[in-house]
Amino acid sequence: MFEFKNVSYKDILKVDSLRIRKGRATVIVGASGSGKSTLMLMLNKMITPDSGEVYLEGAALSKTDPVALRRRVVMLPQNPAVYDGTVGDNLRIGLEFAEKPAATDEELLEALAFVELDKKLDDDASSLSGGERQRLGLARVLLLKPDVYLLDEPSSALDPKTEASIIGRLVSHVKASGGTVVMVTHSMEVARTQADDLIEVSGGTARPSEVRGRNEE
């Protein structure tokens, strides 16, 4: 789906050749500051390479309209934006920004239930904890139904049990609907259990790595 060819960005990251496959969950791992987020941000043109090219289904991203791209390839940062207003307002605003049809209250509540966020639509969003804000962000992205979900540490504020439940359900749901997940995580348990493909970023380079431990129970 994505292909990197002779890509470099400042002195942070150099990728000679790398592929990210469609319809799979690709997990990106590496030490803090290694360039994981830089790699991901190139996938929707939030960052552009200094040299080389990133392709999406054969089309060069350098020649792709960024707005159209970001509606197909949606980024969820580690600390999602929470806007003034209610939980429901925060769910609806993503659809408004993307110029997509409004969701019903039932659909909004289903999205909250999916991410295990026990809140009412008229609850004040400003009172949410860090973990609740991450789940609200996940629900907002789910409602958009993009082709590609870019998730940057989407569960860092969750306890391990909740993380395993929500991320496992999310990855299964996205793949079942034909979507693609690309996720940065520090959790080796998430990588072990959810990655179809693993990319390791180290020493300023990114390369495919083996998913270890899944069948070593």
Q: How many CA atoms lie within 13 A of 158 on its CB side?
A: 25
pTM equals 0.95
Give strand ranges (E) for the chain.
2-9, 13-20, 25-30, 51-56, 59-60, 73-76, 148-152, 180-184, 197-202, 205-209
| pLDDT value for 217 | 39
| pLDDT value for 211 | 82
| pLDDT value for 155 | 94
Q: By percentage, how much of the chain surpasses pLDDT 70?
A: 97
* Residues whose CB is less than 8 angstroms from the CB of residue 149 and which lie 6 or more positions away in sequence, other chains included: 74, 76, 141, 170, 174, 179, 180, 181, 182, 183
Read off the amino acid at residue 155: S
Residue numbers in the chain where pLDDT is lower than 70: 212-217
